[in-house]
Amino acid sequence: MAFYVDVVTTGTVLGVCPTASPDSVSEVLGPDFGEKMFSDRSMCRDYGMTEFFWDRPSVGHAWSGHHFTLQVHRLAYRGRTLTEEKLRARYGRFTPRLRFEKLRRLLERRGIALVEIPDPVNAPYYRMFWQPSSQVAISVIGTYGDHSTPDNLKVGDVYSIQAPVTADEVKWRKARVG
């Protein structure tokens, strides 16, 4: 649980911010990753639970960090060893499911508030909560739906955590729902 509190509080993974270079991320998370190229201008490195994304204007330009996503839902399917070795070494074992209310309580005890924001694409199956200072968003199972939510998760489980989600994106989400 401490890992998730740290991510939501700081907007980083082990101190690595979403804008870090691919080499900087690998220095911290290690060399064990799967790399996906969506085009010659967009790339993702998947470390297990953690994914970092980069883009660039064209080949020959340096990669620019875009965001990271913690695919928390994967733990319910692949077990506790899915998490990166560096995360397990620092934080210990990870449970297969992360209960949102428990995470929220721990954050509130530290004075970290979360604000519910619209998730117009995935509602009502998912709810989105945002931490404005760290620009972290938490996607939570809102209601069960056949083929819309994972069978291994329950209502109130965290699906994923992403950063950054900027104030402009929150404003855009609010405008989409009226």
Give the chain's domain count: 1
pTM for the structure as a whole: 0.95
Burial profile 33-54: b = 16 or more Cβ within 10 angstroms, e = fewer: beeeeeeeeebbbbbbbbbbbb
Measured CA distances, 14 to 25, 29, 62, 154 (Å): 10, 8, 23, 28
Please name the helix (run of DSSP H) or strand (run of DSSP E) that holds residue 100, with its range, or none: helix 100-109
2-48 pLDDT, tens digit per residue, is: 999 999 999 999 999 999 999 999 999 999 999 999 999 999 999 99
**What domain range includes position 71?**
2-176
Residue 134 has pLDDT above 90, yes or no: yes
47-87 pLDDT, tens digit per residue, is: 999 999 999 999 999 999 999 999 999 999 876 567 788 99
